[in-house]
Amino acid sequence: MNYTIFAYDFPHTKTKDFIVTLKLLGYKINCILAAPRIELNYPKPKIRISVKKNELIHPQNIAKIFGIPYFVVPHNSDECIDIIKERNAEIGIIAGARILSKKVIGAFSTGIINFHPGLIPQNRGLDNLKWAIHKDIPQGVTTHFIDNRVDAGRIILQQQIPIFKDDTLFDVDQRLYETQLDLIKPTLDAIEGKYLDDFPLVTEGKPKSVMPNELEKELIDKFEAYKLKLINNE
């Protein structure tokens, strides 16, 4: 199979790590579809859960090193769809993208895979780590073929991550991220020789938006109780 990477056309950790990991694992990357930066109007969070990073490596430079065709193109544009069809793309992998249109999804002969830092269907949408704490949902990663709904489609694999007594929010966030990378090979192995219908379809759950600031204020106190509950259940 060949894999087409949805990425961002600016230094971005997940974009970089997915491309490098796929190449080191020996997978063939058909091309990289890199979307230009757009400004998002999300409210500024009151509580930060991830380490601030100064990512310096542009994905186009990584593409040059590995000899991967690199296209700067809006992901939901007709130009992007034309590239997908011209290159006979089989499977897409999201390493950086916003919501993809039904036309883009349908341009792939097999489908597009997302690595979501939440357990679907209970934890769809944004701010997954925070909502999991607020709703007492275990932390975990879901890999799935996407459809035109937000964080839905057909589930390939799910993996719950451990929670430790001395964890901070930063620890949990990093563990969720590293689990996405760890699941690349098992996910691609799991779809080998399979059809979309072989994987269960998500029919429940509603996607969450960014957590409101008033709920964020309760997060630290909830996190301590949340940790104890999950540790006690191990």
| Dist. CA 33–CA 3, nearest whole Å | 11
The model's pTM is 0.94
pLDDT tens sequence for the chain (234 residues)? 899 999 999 999 999 999 999 999 999 999 999 999 887 777 778 888 888 887 789 999 999 999 999 999 999 999 999 999 999 999 999 999 999 999 999 999 999 999 999 999 999 999 999 999 999 999 999 999 999 899 999 999 999 999 999 999 999 999 999 999 999 999 999 999 998 899 999 988 899 999 998 898 889 889 999 998 888 654
Domains and CATH numbers, the chain: 3-232 (3.40.50.170)
- Specify the pLDDT at position 100: 96
- Specify the pLDDT at position 51: 85
Structure-block tokens of residue 108: 């792939």
